């Protein structure tokens, strides 16, 4: 089945020009315009204009094309470059590596532009088509903003760009109307949508699920004028003609695949439902010791896995024809989706950055169907679920392509930690992602302050301080959970550590479960504290590790011998004596 999304005038124009070239017609500079430009691969020109094979990774060509692609992206509606055609219409061709070029353009535009690159073989000559989607914010190249005026690129100031683009900034491809009639909706997709709604247990969702199909689709905002689906509706209820997801399961890394979901001609909802089902069938259950609040757990928390998979289709670049890859290897789930980070999101702010989706309508549709958490909450949920079950926090990174990869590692199950969390009062702190991040850090690293916490939980220092104050009012088995580190200067920002009682509870639970917890040495704790805060005293170290000040001299002197600490005075005596960080 051929699926036709809403008309893309840029792609339609490119296709028409390629067909003209294929038929033997002349396509030259007269066919260039605001949205399409013909470009040569600079590496194919030798001395005196002679043709040479060209360099697959020509830096000069990449810089030239990145500049032109950025110009197209800054133009309302975006644009395309047909690479390998001269101004006079001669087929010159190109040997540029399609994947390398795509990533190099991304890097050269300060990671703001993800182009769609594809090959076209025209009368035996290899061309490249580089399509730039319309930019949501100006894409600079060499610190300049350029856009197309008729058939050339001209520099424009930021104010003019924003004024011209303001009405375009809210454009959402997934909300645009397609040419697919409502009658093309797959019944299986509708039934899966109803299942998601019924299974949520929410009264409003169940009322929605009971509606007749046309009314259900309208209430989900996937029907536009003329009884045609939006692009989001086509993806969710009809499909794009090729698979959106590619799931594989391997018992061990490098082992043969034991399960795969990779079928064409289905809707996204059908693909999601099958991937969820196959994943859960291969996500083993672990039984934990009697007496803990949770009696059994999956290798990978189901809620975290669902959020990772759904985010991999909700926020991806749909201009790319590749599938979102879901690799389930042992106790690890890795989701890799086309397109880099978007809208100002990066690795250092992804937990708390305001929601920014390329596909607002599609993201909202999946939220309305209760397939995943509400827009912008999914990353929080992934982090929370992984940490509270004793696993490492998710790794979310941008990789070459660009792609976004989310990795969930389910190996490090920590049962005593889960039991320890169940003893907190108030219990809500065991569900708050910021509190969980701070407590997990305190168990592993022994101390924290506002500045460190701010980096860890990706919030402002003031908000991080509020989290620490909240934990200062939290108890465990009737005793305080955290306390300020003693011995710090009165004018210094407080540092915090777990109380001796809180650590005693965790140690007892470790012993009952036969769990051996890896702890940092006193020297490592002292070094991390002094490095961040500029100083450390025996009183401070003793307070952090719940020891006696008289026993703290040895690790500090060891750090001094290593050239990392220096005494605050030569006598090494007196009230207030401390060591300075000099490493």
**Mind listing the pLDDT tens digit for each residue in 80-89?**
999 999 888 8
The token duo for 72 is 């197209």
CB atoms within 10 A of CB 329: 16
Q: How far apart are CA 246 and CA 260, in angstroms?
A: 7
Q: What is the model's pLDDT at position 376? A: 45
For residues 431-466, one letter each, b for 16 or more C-beta atoms within 10 angstroms of the residue's C-beta and e for the rest, the string is ebbbbbbbbbbbbebbbbbbebbbebbbbeeeebbe
Q: Sorting pLDDT into bands at 50, 70 and 90, what band is 171?
A: low
CB atoms within 10 A of CB 569: 10
Higher pLDDT, 357 or 529: 529
Residues 420, 242: Cα–Cα separation, whole Å: 47
Within 10 Å of residue 286's Cβ, how many Cβ atoms? 12
If you count them, how many residues does the chain have? 583
pLDDT the model gives residue 373: 57
Tell me which CATH code domain 172-412 carries. 3.30.565.60
CATH class as words, domain 9-169: alpha beta
Distances (CA, A) of 350 to 361, 378, 401: 20, 10, 19
Instruction: For residue range 362-387, list pLDDT tens digits in order.
Output: 999 999 999 875 544 578 889 999 99
**Span 547-566, pLDDT tens digits:** 898 898 899 999 999 999 99
- pLDDT mean over 446-462: 92
Interstrand relation of 482-484 and 152-155 (parallel, antiparallel or unpaired): unpaired
Q: How is the beta sheet containing 424-425 ordered, strand by strand?
A: 424-425, 475-476, 479-480
Q: Give the Cα separation of 36 and 82 in Å (integer).
A: 8
Model confidence, pTM? 0.73
Cα–Cα nearest to 448, from 419, 484, 404 = 484
pLDDT at residue 173 above 90?
no
C-alpha closest to that of 457 among 304, 354, 350, 344:
350
Phi (first) and psi of residue 350, to 5 degrees: -65, -25
Which residue in the block uniquely carries the two structure tokens 């920002």? 493
Please tell me if the domain spanning 172-412 has the same topology as the one spanning 415-581.
no
pLDDT digits (tens, 9 = 90+) for 417-451: 999 999 999 999 999 999 999 999 999 999 999 99
Averaged over 99-128, what is the pLDDT? 93
What would the mean pLDDT of 137-156 be, rounded to a whole number? 89
Please report, for residues 122, 176, 229, 230, the alpha-carbon distance to residue 217 in angstroms, rounded to integers and kept in the order given: 42, 15, 9, 10
Neighbours of 218 (CB within 10 A): 15
Cis peptide before 402 (omega within 30 of 0): yes
CB 313 within 8 A of CB 358: no
553/407: higher pLDDT: 407
Q: Would you state the pLDDT for residue 139?
A: 92
Question: Hey, what long-range contacts does 432-435 have (CB within 8 A, 24 or more apart)?
Answer: 432/384, 433/351, 433/380, 433/383, 433/384, 433/387, 433/457, 434/459, 434/464, 434/467, 435/467, 435/470, 435/471, 435/474
What would the mean pLDDT of 245-251 be, rounded to a whole number?
95
- State the pLDDT at residue 104: 94
Query: What's the average model confidence in pLDDT over 201-211?
Result: 89
Q: 506-513 long-range contacts, Cβ below 8 Å, gap at least 24?
A: 506/416, 506/417, 506/420, 506/443, 509/416, 509/419, 509/420, 510/416, 512/289, 512/416, 513/289, 513/415, 513/416, 513/419
The alpha carbon of residue 124 and the mean position of all alpha carbons in its chain are separated, in whole angstroms, by 40
Domain topology for 415-581? Arc Repressor Mutant, subunit A (1.10.10)
The pLDDT of residue 167: 45
The distance of Cα 426 from the centroid of its chain, to the nearest Å, equals 31
Euclidean distance between CA atoms 73 and 78, whole angstroms: 5
| 186: confidence class by pLDDT, cuts 50, 70, 90 | very high
For residues 323 and 185, give the distance between their C-alpha atoms in angstroms, rounded to a whole number: 21
**Which tens digit of pLDDT belongs to each residue from 465-503?**
999 999 999 999 999 999 999 998 988 999 999 999 999
Q: Which residue has the tokens 């679920």?
A: 385
pLDDT for position 301 = 92
Asked if the peptide bond before residue 274 counts as cis, ω within 30 degrees of 0, the response is no
Percent of the chain with pLDDT over 90: 62
CA 500 from chain centre, in angstroms, equals: 38
pLDDT band, residue 264 (cuts 50/70/90)? confident
How many CA atoms lie within 13 Å of 360's alpha carbon, on the beta-carbon side? 10
Contact 546, 539 (CB under 8 A): no
pLDDT confidence tier of residue 169, bands split at 50, 70 and 90 = low
Q: Residue 285's pLDDT is what? A: 86
Measured distance CA(330)–CA(409) in Å, rounded: 9
pLDDT for residue 161 is more than 80: no
- Mean pLDDT for 381-408 is 91
User: Which among 88, 94, 91 is positioned nearest to 44, based on CA atoms?
Assistant: 94
Residue 1 has pLDDT above 50, yes or no: no
Distance CA 189, CA 266 (A): 8
Element (H, E) at 280: helix 268-281
- Percent of the chain whose pLDDT exceeds 70: 94
Count of CB atoms within 10 A of residue 91's CB? 15
Average pLDDT, the chain: 89
Give the number of other Cβ atoms within 10 Å of residue 143's Cβ: 6
SS3 228: strand
Q: Domain-by-domain residue ranges, the chain?
A: 9-169, 172-412, 415-581
Backbone angles phi, psi at 312, to 5 degrees: -65, -20
For residues 196 and 310, what is the distance between their CA atoms, to the nearest angstrom? 13
DSSP-derived pairing of the beta strands 324-329 and 245-250 = parallel
Q: Which residue has the tokens 């001395």?
A: 47
Q: Collect all residues with Cβ–Cβ distance below 8 Å to 166 and sequence separation of at least 6.
A: none
pLDDT digits (tens, 9 = 90+) for 325-363: 999 999 999 999 998 887 778 888 888 877 677 888 999
């Amino acid at each position: 089945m051929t699926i036709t999304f809403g008309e893309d005038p840029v792609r339609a124009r490119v296709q028409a020009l390629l067909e003209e070239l294929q038929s033997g017609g002349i396509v030259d500079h007269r066919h260039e315009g605001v949205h399409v430009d013909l470009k040569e691969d600079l590496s194919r020109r030798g001395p005196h204009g002679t043709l040479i094979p060209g360099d697959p990774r020509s830096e000069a060509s990449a810089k030239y094309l990145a500049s032109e692609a950025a110009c197209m992206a800054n133009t309302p509606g975006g644009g395309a470059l047909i690479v390998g055609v001269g101004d006079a219409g001669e087929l010159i061709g190109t040997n540029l590596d399609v994947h390398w070029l795509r990533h190099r353009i991304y890097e050269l535009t300060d990671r703001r532009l993800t182009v769609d690159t594809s090959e076209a073989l025209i009368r035996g000559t290899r061309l490249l088509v580089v399509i730039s989607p319309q930019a949501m914010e100006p894409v600079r190249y060499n610190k300049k903003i350029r856009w197309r005026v008729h058939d050339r690129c001209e520099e424009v100031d930021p104010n003019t760009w924003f004024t011209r683009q303001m009405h375009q900034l809210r454009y959402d491809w997934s909300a645009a109307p397609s040419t697919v009639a409502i009658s093309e909706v797959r019944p299986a997709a509708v039934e899966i949508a109803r299942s998601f709604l019924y299974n949520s247990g929410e009264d409003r969702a169940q009322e929605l699920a009971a509606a007749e199909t046309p009314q259900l689709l309208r209430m989900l905002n996937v029907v536009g004028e003329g009884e045609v689906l939006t692009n989001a509706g086509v993806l969710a209820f009809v499909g794009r003609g090729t698979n959106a997801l590619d799931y594989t399961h391997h018992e061990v890394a490098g082992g043969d695949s034991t399960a795969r979901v990779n079928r064409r001609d289905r809707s996204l909802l059908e693909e999601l439902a099958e991937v969820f089902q196959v994943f859960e069938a291969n996500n083993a259950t672990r039984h934990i010791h009697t007496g803990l609040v949770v009696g059994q757990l999956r290798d990978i928390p189901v809620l975290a896995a669902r959020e990772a998979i759904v985010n991999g289709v909700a926020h991806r670049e749909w201009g790319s024809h590749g599938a979102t890859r879901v690799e389930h290897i042992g106790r690890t789930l890795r989701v890799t989706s086309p397109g880099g980070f978007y809208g100002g999101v990066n690795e250092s702010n992804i937990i708390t950055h305001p929601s920014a989706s390329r596909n607002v309508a599609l993201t909202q549709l999946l939220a309305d169907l209760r397939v995943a958490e509400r827009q912008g909450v999914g990353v929080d949920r992934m982090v929370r679920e992984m940490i509270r079950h004793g696993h490492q926090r998710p790794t979310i990174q941008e990789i070459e392509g660009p792609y976004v990869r989310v990795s969930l590692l389910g190996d490090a199950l920590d049962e005593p930690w889960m039991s320890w969390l169940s003893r907190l009062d108030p219990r809500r702190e065991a569900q708050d992602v910021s509190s969980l991040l701070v407590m997990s850090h305190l168990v592993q690293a022994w101390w924290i302050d506002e500045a460190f916490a701010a980096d860890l939980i990706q919030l402002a220092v003031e908000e991080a301080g509020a989290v620490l104050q909240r934990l200062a009012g939290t108890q465990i088995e009737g005793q305080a959970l955290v306390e300020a580190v003693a011995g710090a200067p009165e004018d210094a920002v407080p540092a915090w550590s777990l109380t001796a009682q809180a650590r005693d509870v965790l140690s007892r639970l470790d012993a009952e479960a036969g769990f051996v917890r890896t702890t940092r040495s006193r020297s490592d704790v002292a070094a991390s504290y002094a490095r961040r805060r500029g100083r450390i005293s025996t009183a401070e170290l003793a307070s952090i590790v719940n020891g006696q000040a008289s026993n703290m001299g040895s690790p500090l002197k060891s750090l001094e011998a290593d050239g990392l600490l220096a005494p605050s005075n030569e006598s090494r005596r007196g009230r207030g004596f401390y060591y300075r960080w000099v490493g």
